[in-house]
Chains A and B, each alone.
Chain A
């Protein structure tokens, strides 16, 4: 019920006294109303600006934040007011809604911010009053369009690198859709563009009259008839290339049905079909007429350029989106043409030797006049005809001028949106780079802290104090969290340099000679992975930087590496490892592939959740925990699971 109704309820109840004498049954007792405190003034403090209102005003809408008991969460007993840490300017509109029952939309505020405030205060956007509703909806739609196209651009854009495990098909499709991704795709893109141009130009040049080889026959022929073989070869070459491209695209398309139905593929088909039809059609006179018609379709090859030109695509999209305006234009033009043609016909009927032989014949005159072309092949000669002719041309200008601005504004809107999308893609790259930088900053801070020995329990108090001094409470807690994660997964965070070193070291070792790599690395100073929970991965072994990190660490961690190594039995051959994963319980560092958990460099290598070992309590720092963890290898071994986590 509307808010105002609450005000009138007491009156309606009072008026019920009028039913009393008529009641045939005793009326029910009134509900026990708690002693109303009367009306009181509430103070709502929004970021320092105090708003005061009657309690009844707020109670009008009990399903909102201010009208329900939810506002008690924000009550500050000390000051006796309700404190909200939100925008006071927006709150004004919210409060006005309670007062007047109409929610107005502020003109100068961002519509998203307004939406968020509404959501906070429990108001539904549909409550926006009629006066502001249209504008609100328009702005919201514009915003949504802009954001939707952001997502589309992200998905369709260059995007992150393809997983290397993608098939040829996927790679091919990507190359087709985004020619910038690889050189080969770019080359292909330009080659097809070139051949489209060549084909179109050949079609055009074919019809130019060339001088004959000798002066007999003196008449001129079109070039196409003079050099039939040359043109045929060129045509064949182009069609072959187009066919090849079409088939490749068909093969690479993720959804063939959808691809077949798409506009671009239809254009492709229409471009190459006439050639094939022409091949199979016998060259006799009867069908040559139809054959000639088919050649007209060759001009559709020019539409293939729309893959190469974004402007063309925008134009096409604009026309599609302005379909209703175009329809209206067409309809009104048709109406006007018919009216004026009829009038002109009857006006010119009396004249002899007139061009206006029928109404359809007058259509031509009307169209030419309305579009202000005025060829002059048909002119009225009677006064009536001239008067109506002038009215016709005047109205033509009006009728055509009316829908055109709508189409133009649509086009400009879409064009600008496209430009904005490009700009935003560039901004996105910058933003991502900034985020990466921030992340690496955090990680570096943590690594620095670790290097300074902050994690060691056994380090002396002064050292710890030194490290601690420069960290805020937030940092401390964050570092503690990262440390917990390290302990949980028994891997450690490291930085890019050491990681790439480790990468280099592993690649040198090679994938094939497993046992040698193990043994060689076994001797190496802690260059082996001391991971307690080895895993198999589908891709190349990337020795985690733990090993190299342990190099840079204190001796403690080197110790546990070697200790862990000692526990392992002789490295087995790879095949047996594959066959019996459960036997390799005792192996903690062996020849198998390890999970490479790093996709974006600075992020720490994380493992699958299966590995959540409880970090061992204290006791000599990381060493014992590593040892203990290595013995608990069982739950870690799941050769089938490959989790490549990226943080």
Chain B
């Protein structure tokens, strides 16, 4: 008799202990109780990267901007990115604000790579200035060089049809859906064909830098448009 009673009560007690442990574990899971000590380091955030550009005189010598222009540019840059560098995410965000209708992330990615000449994943002020200097104050040759660099995704010196297709698709993506006339599926491909017809002189399926520059210089439209962005700053 007694043993039976003890048994049942004992069982119940065991059950109770199990329940208590389970509830404690639940509380730990909810984060109300801490048993381990490894949570401290998680709270420390990584120190943000800070980058200081080179001296103003140096930049002035390296680029084709005047001191005043550099000052204005840097003030704007520093205001937007106090840490001194732009990473790809921010870059994409900024660029997408100019093209609200379409999706500009792919093109922004290519652009980012074109600006990030040292390929460290961040565009510093120097990279920024270097790029702008070429685009706005460079010679036709330099500009065309820059454009070639943009199209050449893997930077191997040749623009293949696939690379061009990626670029073209990215550009057409920026247009978005609502266009007139309606965007057809193969519009990028057709555009690529036209491009290669014009640029690829020896019809080997790739465009080299010389072919590119040569063909561009022969095209009057392109030459004329090169002057368009002179006075952006």
When distances are taken between beta carbons in the complex, the residues of chain A under 8 Å from B13 are 383-384
Which of A4, A7, A24, A30 touches B194 (beta carbons < 8 Å)? A24
Which of A14, A24, A39 touches B132 (beta carbons < 8 Å)? A14
B95 touches A12 (CB 8 A): yes
Question: Nearest B residue to A99 by beta-carbon distance?
Answer: B79
A38 touches B231 (CB 8 A): no
Q: Does A33 contact B (CB under 8 A)?
A: yes
Q: Please report the C-alpha to C-alpha distance between residue A440 and residue B13 in the assembled complex, in whole angstroms.
A: 89
A56 touches B72 (CB 8 A): yes
Q: Does B59 contact A (CB under 8 A)?
A: no
Q: Does A213 contact B (CB under 8 A)?
A: no
Q: Does B144 contact A (CB under 8 A)?
A: yes
Contact segment of A15-23, A193-201, A255-263, A406-414: A15-23
When distances are taken between beta carbons in the complex, the residues of chain B under 8 Å from A30 are 228-232
Q: Does A350 contact B (CB under 8 A)?
A: yes
Instruction: Tell whether A14 pairs with B229 under 8 Å between CB atoms, given A5-B98, A19-B171, A26-B224.
Output: yes
* Smallest CB separation, B165 vs chain A (Å): 12
Which of B69, B199, B225 touches A27 (beta carbons < 8 Å)? B225
When distances are taken between beta carbons in the complex, the residues of chain B under 8 Å from A1 are 97
Q: Does A579 contact B (CB under 8 A)?
A: no
Q: Does A458 contact B (CB under 8 A)?
A: no
Which A12-49 residues have a C-beta within 8 angstroms of B?
Answer: 12-27, 29-30, 33, 38-39
B229 touches A18 (CB 8 A): no
A21 touches B72 (CB 8 A): no
Which B99-146 residues have a C-beta within 8 angstroms of A?
Answer: 111, 114, 128, 131-132, 135-136, 143-144, 146
Q: Please report the C-alpha to C-alpha distance between residue A512 and residue B159 in the assembled complex, in whole angstroms.
A: 112
A-B contact count (CB 8 A): 115
Q: Please report the C-alpha to C-alpha distance between residue A17 and residue B138 in the assembled complex, in whole angstroms.
A: 11
Beyond the given A384-B15, A384-B16, could you list 20 further A-B residue pairs with CB under 8 A, ordered by the A residue number? A7-B79, A12-B95, A12-B98, A13-B232, A14-B132, A14-B135, A15-B135, A17-B135, A18-B151, A20-B222, A21-B147, A21-B199, A21-B222, A22-B167, A24-B191, A29-B228, A347-B12, A383-B9, A383-B12, A387-B16
When distances are taken between beta carbons in the complex, the residues of chain B under 8 Å from A12 are 95, 98
Q: Please report the C-alpha to C-alpha distance between residue A441 and residue B168 in the assembled complex, in whole angstroms.
A: 82
* Smallest CB separation, B183 vs chain A (Å): 14
A38 touches B72 (CB 8 A): yes
Q: Does A227 contact B (CB under 8 A)?
A: no
Instruction: Tell whether A4 pairs with B135 under 8 Å between CB atoms, given A17-B146, A26-B221.
Output: no
Instruction: Tell whether A5 pairs with B97 under 8 Å between CB atoms, given A18-B146, A20-B225.
Output: yes
B94 touches A23 (CB 8 A): no
Q: Does A432 contact B (CB under 8 A)?
A: no
Which A318-366 residues have a C-beta within 8 angstroms of B?
Answer: 347, 350
For A, the interface residue count at a CB cutoff of 8 angstroms equals 40
A39 touches B71 (CB 8 A): yes
When distances are taken between beta carbons in the complex, the residues of chain B under 8 Å from A20 are 143, 147, 222, 225-226
* Smallest CB separation, B97 vs chain A (Å): 5
Which B8-66 residues have a C-beta within 8 angstroms of A?
Answer: 8-9, 12-13, 15-16
Q: Please report the C-alpha to C-alpha distance between residue A27 and residue B224 in the assembled complex, in whole angstroms.
A: 9
B16 touches A38 (CB 8 A): no
A-B contact pairs, 11 of them (CB 8 A): A8-B76, A9-B98, A17-B143, A17-B147, A20-B143, A22-B168, A23-B225, A56-B76, A382-B12, A384-B15, A388-B16
A22 touches B171 (CB 8 A): yes
Q: Does A508 contact B (CB under 8 A)?
A: no
Q: Does A289 contact B (CB under 8 A)?
A: no
Interface residues on B, range: 35 or more
Instruction: Tell whether A7 pairs with B228 under 8 Å between CB atoms, given A14-B135, A15-B135.
Output: no
Question: Nearest A residue to B95 by beta-carbon distance?
Answer: A12
Question: Nearest A residue to B195 by beta-carbon distance?
Answer: A22
Instruction: Tell whether A2 pairs with B146 under 8 Å between CB atoms, given A11-B128, A384-B16.
Output: no
* Smallest CB separation, B17 vs chain A (Å): 10
Q: Please report the C-alpha to C-alpha distance between residue A383 and residue B23 in the assembled complex, in whole angstroms.
A: 19
Q: Does A10 contact B (CB under 8 A)?
A: yes
A22 touches B132 (CB 8 A): no
Q: Does B77 contact A (CB under 8 A)?
A: yes
Q: Please report the C-alpha to C-alpha distance between residue A359 and residue B128 in the assembled complex, in whole angstroms.
A: 74
Scoring A7, A19, A20, A38 by chain B CB atoms within 10 A of each residue's CB, the highest score goes to A20
Instruction: Tell whether A10 pairs with B79 under 8 Å between CB atoms, given A17-B147, A18-B146.
Output: no
Q: Please report the C-alpha to C-alpha distance between residue A317 and residue B233 in the assembled complex, in whole angstroms.
A: 64
Q: Please report the C-alpha to C-alpha distance between residue A642 and residue B86 in the assembled complex, in whole angstroms.
A: 76
A7 touches B77 (CB 8 A): yes
Which B176-205 residues have a C-beta within 8 angstroms of A?
Answer: 191, 194-195, 199
A384 touches B150 (CB 8 A): no
Q: Please report the C-alpha to C-alpha distance between residue A39 and residue B74 in the assembled complex, in whole angstroms.
A: 12
Q: Does A54 contact B (CB under 8 A)?
A: yes
B225 touches A18 (CB 8 A): no
A17 touches B229 (CB 8 A): yes
Which A150-209 residues have a C-beta within 8 angstroms of B?
Answer: none
Question: Nearest B residue to A2 by beta-carbon distance?
Answer: B97
Which of A8, A23, A26, A38 touches B80 (beta carbons < 8 Å)? A8
Q: Please report the C-alpha to C-alpha distance between residue A383 and residue B14 in the assembled complex, in whole angstroms.
A: 11
Q: Does B75 contact A (CB under 8 A)?
A: yes
Question: Nearest B residue to A12 by beta-carbon distance?
Answer: B98
* Smallest CB separation, A535 vs chain B (Å): 67
Scoring B13, B98, B111, B114 by chain A CB atoms within 10 A of each residue's CB, the highest score goes to B98
Question: Nearest B residue to A30 by beta-carbon distance?
Answer: B228
Question: Nearest A residue to B13 by beta-carbon distance?
Answer: A383
* Smallest CB separation, B221 vs chain A (Å): 5
When distances are taken between beta carbons in the complex, the residues of chain B under 8 Å from A382 are 9, 12
B150 touches A27 (CB 8 A): no
Question: Nearest A residue to B223 by beta-carbon distance?
Answer: A20
Q: Please report the C-alpha to C-alpha distance between residue A383 and residue B94 in the assembled complex, in whole angstroms.
A: 67
Q: Which 3 interchain pairs have the tightest Cβ spacing? A: A7-B76, A14-B135, A384-B12
Question: Nearest A residue to B108 by beta-carbon distance?
Answer: A15
* Smallest CB separation, A194 vs chain B (Å): 58
Q: Please report the C-alpha to C-alpha distance between residue A19 and residue B221 in the assembled complex, in whole angstroms.
A: 12
Q: Please report the C-alpha to C-alpha distance between residue A54 and residue B76 in the assembled complex, in whole angstroms.
A: 11
* Smallest CB separation, B197 vs chain A (Å): 12
Binary interface encoding of chain A residues 271-302 relative to chain B, with 1 for a CB under 8 A from any of its CBs, else 0: 00000000000000000000000000000000
When distances are taken between beta carbons in the complex, the residues of chain A under 8 Å from B77 are 7
